Amino acid sequence: MLNLFDTRGLRSQLKDSIPVAGLCPTGSYGLQDSMRSGFTSVKNELLPSHPLELSEKNYQPNKDKMNFSTLRNIQGLHAPLKLQMEYRAARQIQRLPFLQSSNLALDTLRGSDESIGFEDILNDPAQSEMMGEPHMMVEYKLGLL
């Protein structure tokens, strides 16, 4: 389904990021992690904690929307349709569930293989200290669990 002219207001953007307050808090053993997220309050979980949070969360989708919309106006409807189909196909090329995938095809399609941003320098998932349990994750993915 194309979302080219889907004008989303602040309310609908906020809806995506609302977790239920108090349920499943982040942190070990399900307790609240005061060191990282401060004291839990309903306000903190409903409103964005930083003025840039919403803008950054939606940066890539907004950029894509703008590009697809321009492409549609220039070349016709087939251009964004074909591109989105290719994106969907490229997104399915992944490694086994516990390994970090390089997403090379998707990067090449987007043109982001020729740019470096903060996501490449900070918090590189290929160098994360924790790894999921391989057997469990593969069994879950195959539906055996």
Distance linking the first and last C-alpha atoms of the chain: 32
CB of 25 to other proteins, least distance (A): 12
The distance of closest approach from Cβ of residue 88 to other proteins in the complex, given in angstroms and rounded to an integer, is 13
- What torsion, rounded to 10 degrees, do the Cα atoms 30, 49, 5, 61 define? -70
CA gap 122, 33 in Å, rounded = 22
Site for other proteins in 84-113 (CB under 8 A): 103, 106-107, 110, 112-113
What DSSP character marks residue 70?
A: H
* 17-56 positions binding other proteins, by CB under 8 A: 35-39, 44, 48-53, 55-56
Binding mask 59-78 for other proteins (x = CB under 8 A): xx------------------
Sign of the dihedral through C-alpha 74, 79, 81, 84:
negative
Among 123, 127, 129, 144, binds other proteins (CB under 8 A): 123
Our CB check for other proteins shows the closer of 113 and 139 to be 113
3-state secondary structure of 137: helix
What's the rounded Cα separation, in Å, for the pair 31 and 60?
A: 32
Binding site for other proteins (CB under 8 A): 35-39, 44, 48-53, 55-57, 59-60, 103, 106-107, 110, 112-121, 123, 125
